[in-house]
Structure 1
Amino acid sequence: MASQTSTPPLSSKIALEIITQRNAPPKLTNRLLEIATSAFWDDQTFNWRYPTRHEHPAHHRHMFWRYLGNELLDPTIWVVVAYLTENSIKIPVGYSTWQRKGPGTEAAVKGRDGWLQKSERNLFALHERLNTLLFPNPSAYKPAIDLMAKVFEETENLVNQMPQFENHLHLNILVVDPAYQRRGIGEALVLWGVNKSINEGIPCALEASRAGKRVYTKCGFEEVQTCDGLHPGPGKPWQEGMHCREEGCQFGVGSFMIYEPPSLQPQTLTSLP
C-alpha cells in the first residue's frame, strides 16, 4: 500500500537511466515492482478490471512483473528509471516505458537485440503462458479487461490514421512512487520521450488519465480526443459490470494525446519588411 509518510525535500537532481534485462538486478526490479504495485493499489481502472485484487496481492504483483519482464526483453521498448540520491544512496523513485512503433522500428533498434535476448524472450513468453493457464488471476473480470483492451485498440487505430504517425514513440506506462510524487519525477520521465522524439524526428502518443493529463500538457502534449469506452452512449447500451454510470469518474474518461517535434510542425511563413 502507498506510504502516506511525508519525506523531507530532496536537494539532489533527478537522474535517468535506461535498463534492460542485462543491467537490471533483482534488487532493482523488486523495487520497481514495489513502486508500481503501491502506485496502482487503489487505482480505479484496476479496481474495475480486478475487483477482488486486494484479496490476491501476489497476483497483483505478478501482473506488473509480467509487464516489466516483457518490456525489459523487448528491443523496441526503452525502460527509463528515475533516481534521486539521498544520503549518498541512489533511490529508484519511478519509471516509464517508451515503445518505438512503425516500419522504421527494426532499423532504429538495431543492436538492441541478440540471440540470447531472443531466447530469453521466448522462454519468458512460454513461462507466462503456462503460468496463466495453471494459475489464472482469480480477481480478473474478463469483460472489463476486454473492454479496456478495445479502448486501447481504438486509439491505436486512430494513431495509424494520422499523418506523420507511421513511425512514433508510445508511452506505455508512467509510474512514480507515491512517497516521491510532486517532485518533478513524472515530468522528467515524460521529457525523456519528448527529447528522444525530437532527436529522431518522430512524434509521441499516449493515453492519459484525468490525473496524468496535467503533466503531459506541461511537457508539450496536446489532446486529440477523449477516450471513453466505459460509459453508455449512442451505440453503447448500458451493461451491468461493463459500464460506469457515474459522471466524472476518474477512470471513465481519459485523453488521447500527442506530441509533435518542431521538425514535423508546419512552418509559418512571414513576409519580409
Structure 2
Amino acid sequence: MHIRPLSRSDIPRVAAIALAAFEKDELYTFLYPRLQDYPDDFRRYQLISLRSRFVRLGCHGYVAVTDRDEIMGYAFFQRVAGPDAADAKKAQRWIQDSWLNKLERHLLSWEDSYHDLFDKAVDHTRVSQFLNQSRKARTVYKAVSPCWQLAILAVDPEYQRRGVGSMLICEAQRLARLDNVPLILESSEAARSLYEKSGFKHLSSGEVCGMKDVKLIWYPDVQVGEVQTNEQRELKNALN
C-alpha cells in the first residue's frame, strides 16, 4: 500500500468510494433525506464536488492504493494562508493556478447550478441552515492560520479498519511538517478516536444542525517558539 496524488482519471472511482462511505453518514443523510430514492442525484453531486475540489486553489487530493494501484481511500487537503506576507509567499507554492483550471471552475459553477435545480435527493433548506451554522462555528480557525486543513477523508468500506485512513492522515501531517504549520480538521464523534490516535488534540466542540461538531488540531514536532504566530503559540501552550 502507498499514497500518491489523485489524478483526474481517479475521480470516477473516488466518487464511487464517496457514495459507499457517506451513504449512511449522519451529515449526508440530513442534507440528502431522499438519497435512497434518488441515488443518481447524490452520485452526480459527489462527482461535481470532487471535480471542484480537484481544481480548487490550494486544494490537493491524495489516494491510498494497493500494489496493483486499486484505490482504497482518498483525502483532500487545503492549504490556508496566514495574514502575513511571509506565509503568503510560502503558501504560494501550494496555490498554483492555470487557465485550464480557471476555465473548469467557471464551467463547474454552471454545472453545479444546473444540478441544484433538478437534484431531488437534497433538501436545500437544510443545506442553507448547515452552511450558515458551520460558517459561524469555523471562526475558531482564525487563531490557527496559517495551517493545512484536512478537508475530507473517506475509505472504501471494503478496506476500512486496515490502516488506510491512518496512511492518509500521515500524508496530511507530512505536508504540515513541510510548512511548519498546524493541521486542523472537523470530525464526527465516531471518527474522533482515529484522529486522536494520530496525535490530534481537541480544539473546540459544538453542535451544527443538532449534530455534534468536533474540531481537532495537530502541531508538527517543533519548539513552541517556532510556531509562527502569537495566537498559535498561546493556543499550543494551552493544549499542552
| Superposition TM-score tier, normalisation by shorter sequence | 0.7 to 0.9
Match runs of 1:1-273 below 5 Å: 14-19=1-6, 23-25=7-9, 28-85=10-67, 89-103=68-82, 104=87, 107-110=90-93, 112-133=96-117, 135=118, 137-160=119-142, 162=143, 165-231=144-210, 252-263=211-222, 265=224
Change (3 A) 1:105 1:211: farther
State the 1:69 CA deviation: 0.6
Deviation >4 Å, runs of 4+: none
State the 1:102 CA deviation: 2.2
TM-score between the two structures when normalised by the length of structure 1 = 0.75
Letter in 2 for 1:159: Y
Change (3 A) 1:130 1:62: same
Return the alpha-carbon distance in structure 1 between the equivalents of residues 104 and 130 of structure 2: 29
Q: Secondary structure in 1 aligned to 2:8?
A: coil
Change (3 A) 1:109 1:59: farther
% same residue: 23
Is the contact made by 1:75 and 1:109 (CA closer than 8 Å) also made in structure 2?
no
Q: Secondary structure in 2 aligned to 1:16?
A: strand
Is the contact made by 1:202 and 1:264 (CA closer than 8 Å) also made in structure 2?
no
Q: Secondary structure in 1 aligned to 2:79?
A: strand
CA RMSD of aligned residues (A): 2.0
What stretches of structure 1 of length at least 5 have no aligned partner? Answer: 1-13, 232-251, 268-273
In terms of Rg, which structure is larger?
1
Q: Secondary structure in 2 aligned to 1:262?
A: coil
Change (3 A) 1:143 1:120: closer
What stretches of structure 2 of length at least 5 have no aligned partner? Answer: 227-240
State the 1:142 CA deviation: 2.7
Return the alpha-carbon distance in structure 1 between the equivalents of residues 14 and 56 of structure 2: 17
State the 1:143 CA deviation: 3.1
Q: Secondary structure in 1 aligned to 2:19?
A: helix
1:76-100 CA distance string (max 9 Å, x none): 0010111012xxx221010000001
Figure out how many residues of one structure are paired with residues of the other and give that number.
221
State the 1:105 CA deviation: 5.1
TM-score between the two structures when normalised by the length of structure 2 = 0.85
Is the contact made by 1:201 and 1:264 (CA closer than 8 Å) also made in structure 2?
no
Letter in 2 for 1:128: D
Aligned to 1:7: none
1:182-235 CA distance string (max 9 Å, x none): 11000110111111111111111111111111111011111112131333xxxx
Is the contact made by 1:202 and 1:261 (CA closer than 8 Å) also made in structure 2?
yes
Change (3 A) 1:264 1:143: farther
1:225-271 CA distance string (max 9 Å, x none): 2131333xxxxxxxxxxxxxxxxxxxx2131111122326359xxxx
